[in-house]
Amino acid sequence: MPRTRRILLGTLPLAMALLTAGCQQSADNAQAPAANAADASKYLSQPLVKDIYTADPSAHVWDGKIYVYPSHDIDGPTAEDDLGSHFEMRDYRVLSMDKIGGQVTVGPVALDVKDVPWADRQMWAPDAARKNGTYYLYFPAKDKEGVFRIGVATSKDPMGPFKAQPQPIKGSYSIDPAVFTDDDGTSYMYFGGIWGGQLQRYANGKYDPNGSKTDLEQDDKPALLPRVAKMTDDMLEFAETPRPLQIVDEQGKPLLGGDHDRRFFEASWMHKYKGKYYFSYSTGDTHYLVYAVGDSPYGPFTYKGRILEPVEGWTTHHSIAEWDGRWWLFYADTQLSGQTRLRNVKVTELHHNEDGSIRTINPIIGGAAPKSAAH
């Protein structure tokens, strides 16, 4: 199935969407999204910014302020395919806000692919971390050979500009880095993604350029797993060889490759709640955000359920952050454009139940989000 899922849109003018946005914005050199006539009222929340396209939001709260590190979507010439070749992003812009629902500032270019010596194209989903007054931007990009690596860039300002290290992180591969810092100050990177994210091409330990374009193609065998590695004290390298992060069902059995409703696809995120580790991710071609819970940052993690039903657009990618004593889900859909390659980030409240489970969110008001709608 191609990584494309166009939607039919209504006929309301863009002005209506702007009126119901609930957020203002400021931006340098902003690229205005095309007008879209979607009925804004059917969405659970509205785009955080409307003058550039953004996706894959990684949110952090630093000194009481909220910073969001998204992909910066652009309308490139490449046709849509299963490898995500149409996600042709070339730079990053950081969003910031003093409070949820407040004015959103869109920063200037924080890192451009032309300033990353090893990178060639496709600046995909980033994340950021802070340590000892330095901010670290982690990002996947294809190198000159077309292989995804993960790079790191540093700045003294959370909005950037960031300066990239000359080489990708040694031993890094695939996409979607998420860096989690535990209460003891140790940081871990979670990463990986199948299909266009190339994780399946490392099935035998090293990159196979002729490897599968999707997954292991063995539905009755354990699914491919995300990776985790502890970071070095300087946050610039892996302190150990990345290892697979086990995700099992309630019986302790590994999720299988054919279990597309639950198996890992991409978009790793980690948050800690009441002493438990919550690893969340996207199921990709079934379009769910789901989560699994464990007792250690290395797992194993037991699958627990869905966080978000399918959004409009093929991809779904999120982050979870605590602000002002409440938890928030940052996610994205294609409300503004109706096109998978041109997404817009959003935020909505996330609730943990008494038993630690997460209440499933439906991004469409009153929408049943039937599985058939996700294909």
Measured CA to CA in angstroms, residue 107 lies from 75, 101, 341 at distances of: 20, 18, 21
Of these residues, 73, 266, 309, 333, which one is catalytic? 266
Q: Which is nearer to ligand FUB, 100 or 175 (CB)?
A: 175
Distance of CA 16 to the CA centre of its chain: 28
Which residue intervals of 133-258 are DSSP H helices? none
Question: H-helix or E-strand containing 134?
Answer: strand 134-143
Cβ at position 55, least distance to ligand FUB in Å: 5
Cβ at position 183, least distance to ligand FUB in Å: 27
The answer to whether the peptide bond before residue 126 is cis (omega within 30 degrees of 0) is no
Residue 300 contacts residue 322 (beta carbons within 8 Å):
no
Cβ at position 311, least distance to ligand FUB in Å: 11
Taking the C-alpha atoms of residue 195 and residue 176, their distance in angstroms, rounded to an integer, is: 13
Of these residues, 56, 215, 309, 312, which one is catalytic? 56
Cβ at position 249, least distance to ligand FUB in Å: 24
Measuring CA to CA, which residue among 122, 61, 70 is closest to residue 93? 70
Query: Is 266 considered catalytic here?
Result: yes
Cβ at position 63, least distance to ligand FUB in Å: 28
Cβ at position 232, least distance to ligand FUB in Å: 24
Q: Specify the residue for token string 């065998």.
A: 221
Catalog residues that contact ligand FUB under the rule CB under 6 A.
Answer: 55-56, 71, 84, 87, 124-125, 175-176, 193, 266-267, 315, 317
Measuring CA to CA, which residue among 142, 138, 35 is closest to residue 84? 142
Residue 264 contacts residue 247 (beta carbons within 8 Å):
yes
**What φ, ψ does residue 95 adopt, rounded to 5°?**
-105, 145
> DSSP 3-state assignment of 2?
coil
Query: Is 56 considered catalytic here?
Result: yes
Residue 310 contacts residue 316 (beta carbons within 8 Å):
yes
Largest CA distance in the chain: 53
> What are the residue numbers of the active site?
56, 266
